[in-house]
Structure 1
C-alpha cells in the first residue's frame, strides 16, 4: 500500500469540498458548509462510534461558558448535550473530548482567535483527580484530562504566521 497515495486522496477530497464551498456567496453559509464537510469527513468511519461531533458552547461545573466552538467532539455513549437543536448545542465539559476550530484561510489574526477559543474550553476543566475502579481489588487515580484543541485550515492566508 502506498500511504502517500492514500493521504493525497484524502487531501483531494477535502480540497474538492473547499472548491465547492467557494461558490457560496454568503460568508456564514460558506463557513457552515466547510465545518459540515469536515464533520462528515470525520464521521464517515474515521472516528470510533463512541464519539459524536456537534457545534456550540461548552459549560463548566461553575456555570461558566466557553466561546462558540466550530466542532465539538463529545462522548455520545456516556455523555449528552444539555440543549440540542440544529442551531444551538450546549455540552457539559465532562463529556467533551476536544474541539476543532475550522478556518477557510488561516492568518495570524485567525490563529490567535482560534487559540483563544480553545483556551476558553480548556479553562472550564476542573483541576481534580478521577478515580476509576477496574475491579473490586484495584482502582486507579489520575488527573482529569483536559480536552484537546485543534485548528484546521483549508489554506493559509497570504500573510505571515510569524509572531
Structure 2
C-alpha cells in the first residue's frame, strides 16, 4: 500500500466518523409529539449505541438500573451503566429491576433531552451526587501467585496499592445544553456530551453537531489515576489521608512522562482545528477505562453483612 493510498484510507475513516456523528445528531433531534416517555427511552438507546460502538466488548451496558453499595446505599435510577460482569458477576435482581454493585461499575451516564434551566440542572446534580455517595469496600479475599490475600488487612495499607477505592466515570448526555448550565455542571461530571446548533445550511435546514467537554482534560494521568482508583470515601478517613499523603510524595518521583501526559493530547482535530468528537471520545474515554482496567475484587463479606444487618440477622464476627 502506497503512502498516498494509506492517507486516503485514513481520510475515509475520519469521514466515516463524521457521518456517524451526523447520524447520531439526527436521531437525537428526531421530534415525536406527545410521546415524551417513548422519545426519552429512544434517545437513551441512541446514546447507548454510541457507547457500544466505542467501548470494548468486555464491558456490559445496561439501561435503567440502580447502583448499590455494601453500606446499604442505593443511587437514583441510572440511565446507562457500563460495568464489568466478568470480574464482578453479581447483579441483584428484583423482577425486571437490576441493582449493580458499585465495585463493578466503570461508567454512569445520565441522558437528558435538554438542560436549559436551573431546576433541571439541580436535578442532574442531585442525581450524580447519589452516585458519588456510594462507597466501595476492600473487604475481599483473593489468591495471588504465592498465597491468599485479605485486602481488609490494615497492615497491607502501608504498601502502595493499585486500587483502594474506585469511582465510576460520570457522563452527562443531552440533546441540548444551555451555556450557563454547562458552567454549573463542569465541576460535577467528568464528561459532558451535547448537541449544539451551528447555523443553517444552504438548504435552509438547521445544522447541528455533537460537542464534548471534559473539564479535567488537562489533568495529568497521575491525577486521573488517583481520582478513579483512590477516590477515598470510606470510613477510614485518617488512615486514608495518611495514605494519600504518601501517594503525593511518591507522585513527585513518578516517571516524568506521566506528568506530561493528559487527555488533551488525545483530541483529534482537522486542519481548521475542528474537533472530531466521536474519534476524540473513543481515545479519551478508553484511556480513562484503562486506568480502571479491572474493577475492585468483589467484597463478598461486606455485602453478606449488609443483607444480614438489613434483615435483622446476627453478623458473624471475625
Asked if these proteins are the same fold (TM beyond 0.5), I'd say yes
Question: SS of the residue aligned with 1:97?
Answer: strand
Match of 2:99 in 1: 90
Provide closer, same or farther for how the CA distance between residues 51 and 121 of structure 1 changes in structure 2, counting only shifts above 3 A: same
Determine whether 1:76 maps to 2:85. Answer: yes
Question: SS of the residue aligned with 1:155?
Answer: coil
Greater per-residue strand proportion: 1
Q: Is the 8 A contact 1:130 1:143 kept in 2?
A: no
Deviation at 1:120, TM superposition (A): 0.9
Greater per-residue helix proportion: 2
Match of 1:136 in 2: 146
Question: Root-mean-square deviation (CA), in Å?
Answer: 2.9
Match of 2:60 in 1: 52
Match of 2:47 in 1: 38
**Unmatched segments (≥5 aa) in structure 1:** none
**Unmatched segments (≥5 aa) in structure 2:** 1-9, 148-158, 185-318
Residues 44-92 of structure 1: CA deviation (Å, up to 9, x unaligned):
x421112111122111111111111111111122223211765x22111
Under a length normalisation based on structure 2, what TM-score does the superposition of the two structures give? Answer: 0.43
Match of 2:133 in 1: 123
Higher alpha-carbon Rg: 2
2 CA distance for matches of 1:147 and 1:25?
A: 35
Under a length normalisation based on structure 1, what TM-score does the superposition of the two structures give? Answer: 0.79
Question: SS of the residue aligned with 2:43?
Answer: helix
Deviation at 1:14, TM superposition (A): 1.2
Residues 3-36 of structure 1: CA deviation (Å, up to 9, x unaligned):
763443232121121133x225321111111001
